[in-house]
Amino acid sequence: MKQSSLTLVALVLAIGSASAQQAAQPSGNAEHGKTLYRETGCYQCHGLAGQGAIMTGPRVSRTELPLDAFVNQLRHPANQMPPYEAAIVSDRDAADIYAYLKQMPVPPDANSIPLLKVAR
């Protein structure tokens, strides 16, 4: 019983600490991020709406990555993406791009687009 109480307390503290770290992350300027997304060429592989494509790059709109993982991927890409060192995209600019990607709207349902409806 005592061990499970200690485990529960440790879990609550860990969750609280993670939440505090997320809250402490700098909030970015989405409007500036939109400009940077285009100026740095992100759209060339990830698309203007961040939708991505199989041959060029993954979807980045509404990314679920935390900011630190996003910046790590930006600095040390896993695949063919060129690295964007801090001299090219500062941490502040990366936070702005991240804010822009996070706020992108959900695309419309394919069934709501008349041209995509299949005649039955």
What does the pLDDT look like over 91-117, one tens digit per residue? Answer: 999 999 999 999 999 888 888 888 887
Please state, in angstroms and rounded to a whole number, the distance separating the CA atoms of residues 114 and 22: 41
Domain harbouring 39, CATH code: 1.10.760.10
Please state, in angstroms and rounded to a whole number, the distance separating the CA atoms of residues 87 and 114: 46
pLDDT for 99 equals 98
pLDDT band with cut points at 50, 70 and 90 for residue 48: very high
pTM higher than the cut 0.75: no
Q: Could you tell me if residue 67 is inside a domain?
A: yes
Q: Could you tell me if residue 7 is inside a domain?
A: no
Token reading at 49? 């709406």
What does the pLDDT look like over 50-81, one tens digit per residue? Answer: 999 999 999 999 999 999 999 999 999 988 89
Q: Could you tell me if residue 15 is inside a domain?
A: no
Residue 10 in this model has a pLDDT that exceeds 70 = no
pLDDT for 31 equals 97
pLDDT for 40 equals 96
Buried b / exposed e along 20-48 (16+ C-beta atoms within 10 A): eeeeeeeebbbebbbebbeeeebbebbbe
Residue 94 belongs to what domain range? 28-107
Please state, in angstroms and rounded to a whole number, the distance separating the CA atoms of residues 16 and 30: 27
Number of domains in the chain: 1
**Neighbour tally for 56: CB within 10 Å:** 12
